[in-house]
Amino acid sequence: MERLRRYGFVAGFLVVPVALYSVFVISPYIQAFQLSLTSWNGYSSVVRYVGLDNFGRLLEDEVFWRALRNHGLLLLVLPIVTIVIALFLSFLLNLGGGTRGAGMKGVWGSTFYRVVYFFPQVLAVAVVGVLFQAVYRPDEDGVLNGVLGRFGVEPVGWLTEPGLALWSIMAVMVWQAVGFYVVLFSAGMAAIPRDYFEAAALDGAGRVRLFFSITLPLLRDTVQVGWIYLGIAAFDGFALILVLAGDKGEPDGATTILPVTIYKTAFAFNKVGYASAMGVALFFLTVTFAVLTLRTTRRERIEL
């Protein structure tokens, strides 16, 4: 009897969440894989299977390759720049203060900085996009061009110059992301025993030395997690690019990325099958990236 009641309770608690999750999350994912093998347009009642044709077409699709190239650039630049800035700032926050009684101190006001840095992280990406539209306006009315104009710099087409657009967008991504990694790395640094720093400082190690010989090696795992997160973010960037450059921008495909292309292919060009194939490609790219990163960066853990 008690057994039955228990099972009834367990089932009762699970049925709604499992049902919602299966219908709206899992079933679309499964359908995406299935649809990637069809030429479905989104409204006809006949779904025609075309095998791997969509994937063959992908390989010859110039837009797809351009999107991949842009992802490659994002994948290279976004994590490196974000992590370097975040490491630098969190090192200053945690150990940049004066040396007192051989103890290493964080700077005064570090809580304030942490709160400010993290704030862009809680802002909607769509809002950030609209905000930076104003910052990046190509004429002298743009905030950035207005400030630069004071120093006699001619207005720059931040989002309209093909060579510049993606970099401008990456700068916004870094702007938004750094705070999160400052918090992440600060937590990692707080876990390193103080005596390590104190012993090294007594032995005459400078701050730079402390950073490269103690902080960085002991922070390896955290940095790796950050790297994977940023790498996955490099495959996304949808809302930002759609708002910043999506409709009007995309100068010469300079900011074309897969998610935006998928969205347009499915909902503007009604090629749902083909868009799903792109989604599947994106899925495998993301997974491959995560696995490769884990493989290549795995090393003996340093036990504290």
Partner 1 sequence: MAARDIGRPRPSVLSGLSHMALAVWALLIIAPLAWTFLASFKTNTEIFGDPLQLPGALRLDAWGRAWDKAHIGQYMLNTVIVVFFGTAGTMVFGSMAAYVLARYRFIGNKLIYYYFVAGLAFPVFLALGPLFFVVKQVGLLNSHLGLVLVYIAYSLPFTVFFLAAFFRTLPDAVAEAALIDGASHTRTFFQIMVPMAKPGLISITIFNVLGQWNQYLLPLVLLAGDPDKWVLTQGIARISTLAGYEADWPGLFAALSMTILPVMIVYIIFQRQIQSGLGTGALK
Applying CB under 8 A, which of residues 201, 210, 234, 254 lies at the interface with partner 1? 201
Q: Which lies closer to partner 1 via its Cβ, residue 166 or residue 277?
A: 277
- According to CB under 8 A, which residues from 176 to 195 bind partner 1? 178-180, 183-184, 187
State the nearest-atom distance from the C-beta of 48 to partner 1, in Å: 16
Measured from the CB atom, the residue of 163 and 297 that comes closer to partner 1 is 297
Binding letters toward partner 1, positions 215-254, x by CB under 8 A? -------x--xx--x--x--xx-xx--xx---x-------
Nearer to partner 1, 73 or 85 (CB): 85
The reply on whether position 89 binds partner 1 by CB under 8 A is yes
Partners of 49 in the beta sheet? 38
Tokens 């002298």, residue? 140
Residues 272-301 that bind partner 1 (CB under 8 A): 272, 275-276, 279-280, 282-283, 286-287
**137, two tokens:** 């306006």
Minimal distance in Å, beta carbon 196 to partner 1?
A: 16
Nearer to partner 1 by C-beta: 6 or 299? 6
**The two structure tokens encoding residue 13:** 């608690």
The DSSP code for 270 is -
- Would you tell me how many other CB atoms lie within 10 Å of the CB of residue 271? 20
Which residue from 52, 76, 153, 202 is in contact with partner 1, where contact means CB under 8 A? 202
List the structure tokens of 208: 């730079």
Kindly state the tokens that stand for 88.
């630098």
> Considering the complex, what minimum distance in angstroms separates the CB of residue 140 from partner 1?
8
Between 163 and 176, CB nearer to partner 1: 176
| CB contact set of 210 (below 8 Å; sequence gap of 6+) | 95, 104, 197, 200, 201
Taking CB under 8 A as the rule, which mask of x and - marks residues 143-172 in contact with partner 1? x--xx-------------------------
User: φ, ψ for residue 270 (rounded to 5)?
Assistant: 55, 35
- Residue linked to tokens 């402390």: 210
Q: Which residues contact 258 (CB under 8 A, 6 or more apart)?
A: 64, 67, 68, 71, 235, 278, 281, 282
Cα–Cα distance between 39 and 275 in angstroms, integer?
10
**Residue 251 DSSP label:** G
Please select the residue that binds partner 1; options are 81, 85, 164, 218, rule is CB under 8 A: 85
Q: How far is the CB of 287 from partner 1 (least distance, A)?
A: 8
E strands in 41-175: 99-100, 103-104
How far apart are the C-alpha atoms of 95 and 210, rounded to whole Å?
10
Among 71-79, 129-137, 159-167, 292-300, the segment contacting partner 1 (CB under 8 A)? 129-137
36-55 footprint of partner 1 as x/- string (CB under 8 A) = ------x-------------
Among 52, 80, 84, 126, binds partner 1 (CB under 8 A): 126
Residues 10-37 as b or e (16 or more Cβ within 10 Å = b): eeeeeeeeeeeeeeeeeeeeeebeebbb
Contact call for residue 267 and partner 1 (CB under 8 A): yes
CB of 164 to partner 1, least distance (A): 18
